[in-house]
Structure formats: structure tokens, C-alpha cells
Structure 1
Amino acid sequence: MKLNLDPQAINSVLDGRWAAARRRGRELAHESITHEDPADDLETTRARTLTGVGLMADTGLPMVSLPPEMGGRNEHATNVAGFEETVTASPSLQIKAGVQFGLFGGAILHLGDSEQHEKWLVDAQQGKLLGSFAMTEIGHGSDVASVATTATYDPEAEEFVIHTPFRAATKEYIGNAARDARAAVVFAQLITAGVNHGVHALFVPIRDEAGEPVPGVSIEDDAFKGGLKGVDNGRIAFDEVRVPRANLLNRYGAVTAEGTYSSPIESPGRRFFTMLGTLVQGRVSLDGASIVASKIALDIAVRYGLERKQFNSVSDIHETTLLDYQQHQRRLMPAIAEVYASALAHEKLLTSFEEVFSGSDDSEENRALLETRAAGFKADSTWMALDVIQECREACGGAGFMAENRLVGLRADLDVYATFEGDNTVLLQLVGKRILGDYAKEFAHLDVGGAARFIGTQAAEHTLYRTGLANAGLAISDVFTRNLSDKRIRSGRLQRSLLETRLEVMVSGLAQALRPATKMSTADAAELFNSQQHEFIEMARAYVELEKWKALDEAMREQEDADQAKVFRRLRDTYGLTLIEKHVGWHLMYGRLPMLRARQLTETLNRLCAKLAANALDLVDAFGYEDVHRRATIATGIEAKRQTEAADYYRHARAQQDFPIEEKQLRKAAKAAAKTEGKAAGKGSAGKGPARKAKAAK
């Protein structure tokens, strides 16, 4: 059952094109100053994290995304791939460095002009100019278009006046704000000549050289949070703070000295989304960082599960190893398969990110694909990380709850990832809108015959429902999807068809449900959309699940080594069938899966998990992490030593004459002795029987 695998070869597949950058990012974990000690106070933790940001700058990774004339290489994915691996050192470091280099520096890079680059960018990416990314407000989080902070242009002074008009307009949860930032990229409503041109970004100094807030800027400390103790989040408010006209990051909107506004993008809505689209790096990196955290958790839990023993099953001395139990396999093996799928999908996301921002393929289609995947993958992977880490914590029992074993710390730190860079639910709505938009475009180009075939198929399906044939064991999929004629539930064609068909049915159903909105008032259309919001989000999640399954399927087909190809197939099938089992009610309800095949899911997954468990150590070794990255006592081999010590003790003790007898053994021995005496007495009576009979006859 166990395959002959080379973890390093699998690691090459997982780390992919940017393997060197990933390993470089992991090196930060070798510096103990980057590790977060739960016993440290707030100030100590923040200071250590800031030191880690400096070490990150020293690697040169933040500079590689800059153009060659500024000392960079125009390699954007290299930067992100290395940066997301800093989770191995500390999630606080990953987030604080992300604010500094990805958000603050990234905003200057993508929204500013060459003069602004020269003035601020290199210092930002070298960690000399510490900054914040001031977008979110108390009253508006994910709804960036509605932020209330204003930037009103004064043509006489040629300055913008930055103002917080009321308390709910205060910038909130701003990383680096409470302690370290000297400047901020502030998102505000740009007003000039009495016209509001929507949200734009401005470079605004917030502290002087001594670290004190500049006049008109007030800063509050968010202090303790549920996690990420090393990140100094805070609130920033502005009381008519003036900055020069040149501080407007003007790639997508500029104001002349006289106050005339101009933009290369005429539509305000399209301009806004284009500006935000340039900042997609944050979502890409959170997707990758969540996968890294999930890998660490699984690495710890699997190593512990292979050593920790619990309950005697076949021996009085040797207990059963946790990972030999079927349910333990079902807890961890599907999680490993999901993390592999997510890691390989992330590699595709990084490829799109590199193509768009390097300029090798900056087409509208590729940019839309990048934004859709980044939003969807970020949502799915951040939720996955929370589920995986929690499962790993529980799988390690009480030991998993100890801070020294990292799992509870990882869970707390990753919690807020689900709302960073856009709340996951909001992001999935964005994904859903894009999918429906693509569907509408595709349907618009169908010829009359194609539309007729589509309508005919829909009508035929409704007929099956009405006649009850679907409930009589004949699945609609058997009628309309030839791929499902394969009887084996592990069939890749079957998995793909079920995942694709589910998405297609959800898309077409939503499209039909929302079609009346085009003829409704704005209020009625909004109400109709709200009534379909849950289906919208489920459709987006179905899209992400399909994309991740396809990434794992593609990787499986690329493997040349037989055993490596086989383990990738096991991973693919485990991930695919887990998704089908998760949504089995939908597949049955819509007649996509016959009951007979649905019953095969549990048994098949049990077998797959057992096979994967045989190579569990190889699969987590392939993540490429060492003790310094895991930093969990239970994953160092200490448990195996404890188990060996216990077994040796009992083996030696049982050999001694004075070893106490267990009560149940004593009772068992007494019962056996009594039974033996009873049999012996019976035999004696039987021997005297004939003589007694003879005497009675006389």
C-alpha cells in the first residue's frame, strides 16, 4: 500500500516556478528574533516584529518587483512567493511586512508616477520609510467606494485638505499606524471645483522625525486584538491636514494647479475598479499565506499522529498509533489533499499575477481572470486555513492546545485573514458577478440553434423531475453527460463532470432567476438580488472548488514517476470525492448522482485515506519545512521517545515476580479454574454411573 516517494521531488512540484524565492522567505524563520513568544508583552512583540520587517528588507525581496531603473527586476510573483512564506517565522511578520512592502509600497508603485516613485518608493521598499495603508474606515470596511474621508483641493494654496468629517470616517484597523508609520497612503473622496471625482489615494505624512503625530493628525492604538500581537494596528483621523498637490498618486487621476481634474479612464466606476485592481497583490498573498499556515499545522499534526499512541487494541504493551485509526485518517488526509489542491491552484494564480503586472499579458481578459481568482481563492483558502488548523489542533488533543505547539497561535493569527483585504462573503459576491457576466456574454453569442438546444435540455430536465424518473434511479447526468457512464466513483471524468455540472446548473439557474432585474426599478432589482445572495455565494464557491480540483488534476497528469503520479491521483480523488460527499444532497436532489454511486463515496474515501496515511510523512515532508519552521515540541520526535520509554518500562515490569496482577485478570483466572474443577467433578460422577445402575438392578 505504501508508495516509494521522494519528498524532495514532490516539493519541487509544490514550490513550483518560484521555489528559490520561497526558500529565501523561509530563511527568516532561522532568525530567532522573528519568532513570536506568547509570553512577551505587547511592546516587546511589536519591537521584535519590526526587526523582522528590517530583515525582510535585507533579503532584497521587496525590491524585485520594482522596474530595473530603480534597482528591481520587474518580477512581481517572486516578491509575493517569498513574502507569503514568512508565515513560517510569524504571521505577524507576514502581515506587518505586507502592509509595509505590499500595500504602502505597492500603492505608491501602482498608483503613483515616476517622480513619486523616485521620491518615496525605494525608501519604502528598503524599510527606511515606514508607512500605512489607510483605506478602511469605522463606518465602511469592504465598501471602499463609500469611504467618507475627503481630500478637497485648494487652488490658491495648491494643496489638498484631508479631513475626517465625523467619527465613523476615522481610518480603522490600520497596520503600522499605532507605533511605527511615518506616512500613510490615504484613500479619500477627491473633490475639486465643487465636483466629487470618487475615491483616490494620496501620500500623507502622519508623524514627524521624532515619531510624534503631525499637526491635525490624531492616532489611537487598537492595542490587543484576537491575534497578530506583533502588528501595531490603530486609528487615524485628520483635521484639515494639508498636503501638496504633488502628493496625489496620479496614475488614474490628476489635478492641475488651477484645479482641473483629468483621468485616462473616463468612467468613474471603471476608474475606481481599475485602481483597486492594481492592489490585488494583497489578496494573492493572503491566499498563499493561508496555504503556508495550513501546511505547518498539518506537518505538526501528522508527525504527532504517527508517534502518539492511544488505547490497547491487540497488545498489553503496545498501544495503537493515532494515524492507524480510520477516523484520524479521515480527519487529516482530506485536509492534506485540499492543501495540495490549493497550493497548485495558487501557483496558477501567481502565474496570472506575474503576467499582468510584468506586462507580458496585461490583457483585459487576463486581468479579469486574475481578479476573479484572487478574490475567490483568497476567500476559500483563508476559510480552509481556519478549518484545517482547528482540525489539527483537535487531532493533537490537549497537546495541541499548548502554546508551545503553535497550533492555537496560528489559529488566532489566521482568524482575521477571513476579513483582511475584503470580507470573504463580499469577495465571493464579486466572483459571482464576474461569472454571471461571462455567462451573459457567452449566451449573447449563441446562435438560434444553440439557444434552442440549451432550452430543450432545460425542458427535458424539468420533464424528468415531473415524471419522477430521476428519483427512480436514473440520474439526469446519465442522460445528458456521457462522462458519467463510468461506473467507478473514482473516475476522474466522473468527478470533473459532477463538479462542472453543479457549477453550470447554479449559473444558469441564477441567470434565469435574475433576468427580470433588467426591467425592474433599482429598488426592486436590489431586492431580487438580495433574495438570491446565498445561491450567489454558493455558486462562487463551486467555481473555486472546480478550479482547485482542475489544478490538482493537471499536476497529476504531469507526473512522470509512476508512484508520484499515483499519489497525486490519490490526492486528486480524495479532494474531488470529499467535495462531492460535501454536496451529495445537491447532487441527489438535482438528479446528478444515482443513489447507488452516492453510497460508494464513504467506502471509497475510507480506502483512499488509508492509502494516503501510509505515505503521510512523505506528503508533509514535501512541504519543505524543518523544525525551525514548525517550532512545535510535539513534532520533534519527543513523543516517540515517550512511547518507547513507556513500552520498555512495561516490558521490564511485567517480567518481575512482584508485578501486580490486574483485578480483571485475577477474576478471569478464578473463573477459568472454577470451570476446570466443574468439568473434573462431572467426569468423576460419570465414571461411577454404571456401577450404581448394576447395584440398583440387583
Structure 2
Amino acid sequence: MTELADRAADPAIDPTTNPTTNANPAARSVASSSDATDAGAPAVDVAALGELLLGKWAATRRVARALAGRPELHKTEGLSHTDHRQRVFGQLKILVENGAVHRAFPASVGGADEHGGNVAGFQELVIADPSLQIKAGVQWGLFGSAVNHLGTEEHHRTWLPGIMNLDIPGCFAMTETGHGSDVASIATTATYDPATEEFVVHTPFRAAWKDYIGNAAVDGLAAVVFAQLVTRGVSHGVHAFYMELRDPGTKDFLPGIGGEDDGVKGGLNGIDNGRLHFTNVRIPRTNLLNRYGGVDADGSYTSSIASPGRRFFTMLGTLVQGRVSLDGAAVTASKLALKTAIQYATERRQFNASSQTDEEVLLDYQRHQRRLFTRLATTYAAGFASEQLLQKFDDVFSGRNDTDADRQDLETLAAALKPLSTWHALDTLQECREACGGAGFLIENRFASLRADLDVYATFEGDNTVLLQLVAKRLLADYAKEFRTVNFGVLARYVVGQAAGAAIHRTGLRGVAQFVADSGSVQKAAIAIKDEASQRTLLTDRVQTMVAEVGSALKGANKLPQAQGAALFNKHQNELIEAAQAHAELLQWEAFTEALGKVADPGTKVVLTWLRDLFGLSLIEKNLSWYLMNGRLSMQRGRTVGDYINRLLVKIRPHALDLVDAFGFGPEHLRAEIATGAEKVRQDEAREYFRGQRASGQAPVDEKILIARAAKTAPRR
């Protein structure tokens, strides 16, 4: 079993392969190369890089990370889901006691109106226990945030103090069994009765039950319920209503309210997810959270936003912080996994391919570097993009930049980045688990536990695929605006924007002016694909081309009968989502590139540029077939992509530990046995044992050596 587990550490490792030459200065094993041994080789300023990674809200992140490092907030593995739920609810009280949940709420009720810092701190809670992070997110990021952003000052005074201090544990009751991401089609109704000045909330059938609702099974005393508002026989679309669920003393459901426990899940079992249903439950008219739409006593409906569609998206847009939070939390989880896996890979030894006596360090194998360094590069890119998203979020919610266009940009940016970062976290956790062999499968090293808990991140706060479709529609809308009067022959040249210089930055379709306008060929621009400008050319051109092709195919779809238009859109849905993903990857690459401009230390900048290039070239390699089929790269040029990547791996290898040390995690954050240095102690003990045997002459002779000697001395015929 042990041998099989060890070999599973890297299926590409074979005793006959030639790993990177190994050198072992001090406690770190690094690959020897001209880059590592030259006197003028670059070095990483770990402290300065750590500051850059912490971003604008560094102080808040430090406080939150210190709190997340406290044992009383850590996940205890092996608990029953009932005990785990109780532990996490108790941990929420610790967050309240430490003022960790009040930042985003209004100063009028004891908050700080600090939106970006609030999310930055929240993202760090994944270090302690993802269940704690999401339970806190339900209470304050969804339930409390809905009251805050959709309600009025009267609602704030009435309910926010109790929500903030946990006197009112609550639910965010939006999702229904029959409708997940399609919020506009939920079936729960809130029908106004002018005779009593009440709304009657009702779930007309089983599929309309609110489902997967955090806090619904046990702890929730109240909920913000999303329902179709009906008054005077007219449905005004989805609105939010505050509703009491349980008697605070007995915890029994109030009359007309029922529910079920969702039970044990694939992860996040510290959260009591459940189902809720309502049978003609009456609530006061004033329980409508009416910031964007209200009902007068006589039943007349009024709203400051005339368009029902725009009103709906405005209301949902105020709740975008869930996606922003998950994006950053997923990046943090990826960092945890990579720090553990890379630390272990610098200590664990396997196979003596280049030496008769010493086994090789795992991280000196090229394939192992491919597995971990490419994901490390993506994690850096995702982290820098996440910081930009968080700053955009703070700009909007602080009111500094809060136009309709800003909110649409924020919505699009969150919908683009959250899918990539959450998918990447799951992929990284799995790859790091496998790269650590059997040790990676032990719960004590956290990979399996974190992956189970983060699995649902890909489908809540918006299913990832659905979110990318939202991004694709925005790209098409921007495309239509830019090229409403331009024929496809012109579009084929991809002259997007005419500003001389670099990219036009926006969260819709990015225009890059100079690529093809002069040369008429992207291939000519890609003389050296490792060059920054060439990477930008190739990555941007792919997005533009894909959007232009789908836009051309869908031209006139809005004039077709509904069924035909839907069929045409569905025919190109896959291409649309691929274009959106390519766009999101471009956003990450651009964020990484912009971050390089903030690096003052020359050595750090060199190493980070290699890492950025690794990210860009990995994207090009992943989509190499597209570049070849569309004539963007020649076959000869395409063959060089892998070679460039392999050269970068050798350059990055000596700096791998510095790059993960810059994440700033201590043992109390990692909590992984294989990241404690214990493996190095074991390996050093083993090497010393065999060294002593050889020195004393007591080492047994390998049978293969005797056979070789016999073959040499045997008489020739």
C-alpha cells in the first residue's frame, strides 16, 4: 500500500527519466541552472511580495487571518453533521465578539460602511473552516446584506442590530427546488391584501419550495424571502420580504410555515441547509424591503425604476458581494493547497535517476513542476484579478463610482471571475492532492476536506456556466454597440477601437487597437510568443474573434419569432460560453500584467514576469488547436510554446518556495502535517542511515552490481 501510494505522487516519475539536476543549499532543495547559480541571478523579496498580495486592505486581512488562525475557529474533522453545525454556530458568536462582521453595515447602527474591507476579511475565514465562512456569509453577507441594501432606514433600525449581534439568525430564501439560477422565474408569490394591509406569501406547489437555504434547517429565526409581488392583479416581478420563521423560545415554525432538513451533504456540513414552504402566510405591508419598489396602503405599486427588467437586475446587483466573496475565498484555498504541496515537493524524495545514492526531490522533476507551477501562475493571476474585482466592488458600494454603468461592469466582472477562480480551486486542490501521493489523501493534510467543502462553490451564488452565459451576453451587447454600422468584412480584420497604444480597459469587450490594423496579420505580430505584447495580441484576438463570429451568426436573432430566436441562440451557446471564459482569462492576464507595474524590487519583478509568462503561454498552449486552425500561429511557431514553458519552469524552480512563502501562511493556517518540515526530517534520517552504511562498508551489495561484475569478467567466446 505504501509503495503504491508513493508512486501515485507523480505518475510521470519513472526511474529511467532524467530529472532536473539537483542541488541542495541549506534547508532548501533547488534546481541548479544558469539562472540559479549566476551571481547576478534574481531573488524574490518575499516580504514586499507578500504586501503586494495582501492588497489594499492588507491590515484588515492580517486581523482576519490572525482570527482565522485561532484553534477555536478551526474545523474539527470527524464530527457528525449535527455536532459540526453546533460548533460553527458557536463560532459565529466569536466573530461577533471580535467585531469581525460589522464593517459593511451602516454607521447609524454601529457599522463602519467599509464594504471592501468587509469582504477582504470575510475571504480569509476559509482558512479556518469553509463552513464557518459560508455560515457567516449567509448571516451577514446575504441575510443581513439584503436588509441593508434592499431595505430602508426604518428596516435598518428595526432589524439590523439583531442581525449584527446574532440575536436574529436568518436565512436568504431565494433559490427554489424548481428554479436555481433562474431567479426571475421563481414561483413563490406575495399577494397584497389591501383590506388588512398585508402580503400573503404562498408556495403553490412543491417545486416552489425554497431549497438549499442556509440556516433554514435549525438556526434561522427569520428570513428574507424572495417572491413574485402581486397587487391589484398585476405581477411586478421578484421582490424581497422580511419574514419571521420560528418562535425564538421553542424554535418551532410559526403557523403556515414548514420545512425540512437537507441532511448530510458532500461538504460544508457545518451549515444547516434546509427547505422552507409557506401556506398563505400573512406579513405586514411594511415587511416589503422597498428601496426599489413599494406598495401603498391602497395597493398601488410605485418604483423609482420604471423598467421591470432593469429593476430586477438592480435589486439582484446589490447582492453581488456573494460572488465577490467566493472569488477571493477560492483564491485563498488555492494558495493554501499550493503552499502545502510545493513545500512537501521540496522535501519528499523519490527514485535515484541521476545518482547511484541519492533519490530526487519531487519538485526537480519537470512534470511535477508542470503540475504545480502552472497552477501557481494561475493562482497569482486569479489573485490579482480578485483584488481588482474587490476594489471595483468597494468603489460601487461606497458610492465613489456608483453609476448604472459601474454596477453593470461590476456584475459582469464578478460573473466572469467567480467561475474561473472556483473551478481553479477545485482543480488545484485535486492536483495538489495527487501530487502528494497517499499523504495527500489523509484528512490531516486538508486537501480532501477543502475540496469537498469547496465543491459547491462552483454552483452557488450563481452556477458557473450560467454566469459565463451572462458574461457572454454582455460581450455580445458591447459588440453590437461597437459594430452596429460595420459590415463583417471589416470585422474580420478585428480593428477594435482606434486608440493608439495598448488595451482599452473595460469589463465588456476589450478593444486592442494596433495589432492587426497595421500588419493585417496576428501571426506577424507573434514573432516571439513569450513577449508581453505578443501574448496580449494572441489572447485578445481570440476573444475578439470568437465574439465576432458568434455575433455574426446571431445577427437578426432578436427579430425572429421567440422559438426560432431561442433555437438559434442555443445552437451557439457553447461558443458563447467559451468566448466568455476566454474573456475572463484575458482579464486575469491583464490583472497580472498591471500588478507587475507595482513591483519595485528588480529581482521580484523578473521572477513574477516569468510567472506571468507561464500563465499566458499556458493559456495559449491550452487553446493551441484554435490558434493553429484559425491561422494565428504557424505549425512551427506552435511547436515552440511547450519549449518556452519548459524553460520557464527551470527559471521558476529556484524561487518556488519564495513564491508560496509570500502568501503569508503560518502553521496555524496550513494545519497540514506534510507542510511542517517533518518529511525533510524523515528524508534526512534515511539518507544519513544509508550514508553511514556505505561509509562503514556494511551496506549489502546490490545483486545487479554482482551481475554486472560477472558479465565483465566472464571469458569471451
Normalised by the size of structure 2, how large is the TM-score?
0.89
Match of 1:585 in 2: 625
Offset at residue 599 of structure 1 (A): 1.0
- Residue-by-residue CA offset, 1:358-417 (whole Å, 9 max, x unaligned): 100101221111100001101111111111111111110111011110000111111100
Q: Secondary structure at 1:161's aligned position in 2? A: strand
Match of 1:88 in 2: 127
Q: Which amino acid aligns with 1:256?
A: D
> Whole-Å Cα distance in 2 between the matches of residues 29 and 479 of structure 1?
54
Matches within 5 A, 1:362-373: 362-373=402-413
Q: Per-residue deviation at 1:457? A: 3.4
* Aligned: 1:340 with 2:356: no
**Separation in 2 of the partners of 1:230 and 1:272?**
32
Match of 1:457 among 467, 489, 493: 493
What is the aligned partner in structure 2 of residue 417 from structure 1?
457
How far apart, CA to CA, are the structure 2 residues paired with 1:476 and 1:589?
18
Q: Deviation at 1:546?
A: 0.6
Separation in 1, partners of 2:278, 2:292:
24
Deviation string, structure 1 residues 165-201 (Cα, Å, up to 9, x no partner): 1111111000111111110100011111211111111
The residue aligned with 2:555 is 515
User: Does structure 2 retain, via aligned residues, the 8 Å contact 1:61–1:78?
Assistant: no
> How far apart, in 2, do the equivalents of 1:649 and 1:303 lie?
23
Q: 521-530 or 259-268: which moved more?
A: 259-268
Q: Could you tell me which residue of structure 1 aligns to residue 436 of structure 2?
A: 396
Moved more, 404-413 or 156-165: 156-165
Aligned pairs for 1:508-547 (under 5 A) are 508-547=548-587
Cα distance change, pair 148–611 in 1 and its aligned pair in 2 (3 A)? same
Kept in 1, the 8 Å contact 2:426–2:454? The answer is yes
Other structure's SS at 1:197 match: strand
Secondary structure in structure 1 of the residue aligned to 2:144: helix
Q: How large is the RMSD of aligned CA atoms in angstroms?
A: 1.9
2:512 maps to what in 1? none
What per-residue deviation string (whole Å, max 9, x for no partner) do you get for residues 574-631 of structure 1? 0000000011111111111122221111111011112112111100011111111111
Q: Distance in 2 between matches of 1:572 and 1:100?
A: 38
Cα distance in structure 1, aligned partners of 2:310 and 2:527 = 49
* Alignment correspondent of 1:238: 278
Map 1:49-60 → 2, pairs under 5 A: 49-60=88-99
- Residues 257 and 513 of structure 1: is their aligned pair in 2 closer, same or farther, counting only changes over 3 Å? same
Instruction: Report the equivalent of 2:20.
Output: none
Q: Distance in 2 between matches of 1:526 and 1:347?
A: 37
Matched residues in 1 for 2:270 and 2:476: separation? 41
Report the Cα distance in structure 2 between the residues aligned to 1:135 and 1:485, rounded to whole angstroms: 49
Q: State how far apart, in whole Å, the 1-side matches of 2:494 and 2:595 are.
A: 34
Farther-moved stretch of structure 1 (95-104 vs 147-156) = 147-156
1:418-477 Cα distance to aligned partner (Å, 9 max, x none): 001111111011001111111111223x6xxx7698257389xxxxxxxxxxxxxxx999
Q: In the aligned structure 2, how far is the partner of 1:251 from the partner of 1:180? A: 27
User: In the alignment, which residue of structure 2 is the partner of 1:467?
Assistant: none
CA-CA distance at 1:662 after TM superposition: 2.0
The reply on whether 1:73 has 2:109 as its aligned counterpart is: no
Whole-Å separation in 1 of the counterparts to 2:330 and 2:275:
26
Map of 1:139 onto structure 2: 178
Q: Which runs of 5+ in 2 are unaligned?
A: 1-34, 37-41, 496-514
Deviation at 1:482, TM superposition (A): 6.9
1:36 aligns with one of 47, 67, 75: 75
* AA in 2 matched with 1:303: Q
Q: In structure 2, which of residues 127, 143, 146 is the aligned counterpart of residue 107 of structure 1?
A: 146
Decide whether the 8 Å contact of 1:484 with 1:494 is kept in 2. no
Q: Distance in 1 between matches of 2:527 and 2:479?
A: 31
Post-superposition shift, 1:284?
Answer: 0.5
Judge conservation of contact 2:105–2:112 (CA < 8 Å) in 1: yes
In 2, Cα distance between equivalents of 1:512 and 1:111: 39
Correspondence for 1:429: 469
Matched, 1:647 2:692: no
Corresponding residue of 1:263: 303
Match of 1:621 in 2: 661
Q: What is the DSSP-based 3-state SS (H/G/I as helix, E as strand, rest coil) of the residue aligned with 1:219?
A: strand
Residue in structure 2 matched with residue 171 of structure 1 by the alignment:
210
What SS does the corresponding residue of 1:563 show, helix, strand or coil? helix
Percent of aligned pairs with the same residue?
53
Shift of 1:516: 2.5
Q: 2:622 and 2:526 mapped to 1: Cα distance?
A: 21
**1:141–1:575 distance in 2 versus 1, CA, 3 Å:** same
Matched position secondary structure for 2:272: coil
For the 8 Å contact 2:667–2:676, the answer to whether it is kept is: yes
Q: Among residues 1, 15, 30, which one is paired with 2:54 in the alignment?
A: 15
SS of residue matched to 2:528: coil
Structure of larger gyration radius: 1
Match of 1:329 in 2: 369
Residues 481, 497 of structure 1: 8 Å contact kept: no
Please say if 1:607 is aligned against 2:607: no
How far did residue 658 of structure 1 move?
A: 4.5
SS in structure 1 of the partner of residue 196 of structure 2 = coil
Alignment-derived partner of residue 157 in structure 2 = 118
Secondary structure class of the residue paired with 1:524: helix
Question: Of 327, 331, 351, which residue of structure 2 is paired with 1:291?
Answer: 331
Look up the equivalent residue of 2:153 and give its one-letter code: S
Match of 1:631 in 2: 671
Mapped contact 1:495–1:577 kept (Cα < 8 A): yes
Secondary structure of the structure 2 residue equivalent to 1:63: coil
Name the amino acid aligned to 1:436: L
Q: Which amino acid aligns with 2:230?
A: I
Does the 8 A contact of 1:183 with 1:207 survive in 2?
Answer: yes
Contact 1:376–1:541 (8 Å) recurs in 2: yes
Task: Confirm or deny that 1:361 pairs with 2:420.
Answer: no
User: Which of 321-330 and 250-259 deviates more?
Assistant: 250-259
Does the 8 A contact of 1:477 with 1:484 survive in 2? no
Does 1:4 find its partner at 2:43? yes
Q: Distance in 1 between matches of 2:343 and 2:494?
A: 51
The answer for the alignment partner of 2:427 in structure 1 is: 387
Query: 8 Å contact 2:65–2:125 — kept in the other structure?
Result: yes
What letter is aligned with 1:9? A
The number of residue pairs the alignment matches comes to 658
Distance 1:482 1:669, change over 3 A: closer
Deviation at 1:316, TM superposition (A): 3.6
Q: Does structure 2 retain, via aligned residues, the 8 Å contact 1:476–1:592?
A: no
Moved more, 295-304 or 237-246: 237-246
Higher deviation after alignment, 251-260 or 62-71: 62-71
* Residue of 123, 128, 132 corresponding to 2:167: 128
Q: Which residue of 2 aligns with 1:24?
A: 63
How far is the alpha carbon of 1:314 from its aligned partner? 3.0
CA distance in 2, matches of 1:316, 1:37: 44
Are residues 1:441 and 2:486 paired? no
Are 2:68 and 2:124, in contact at CA under 8 Å, matched by a contact in 1?
A: no
Write the distance in 2 (CA, Å) between the matches of 1:18 and 1:519. Answer: 48
Higher mean Cα deviation, 645-654 or 318-327? 645-654
Give the counterpart of 2:636 among 572, 596, 607. 596
Measure how far apart 1:70 and its partner are.
Answer: 2.4
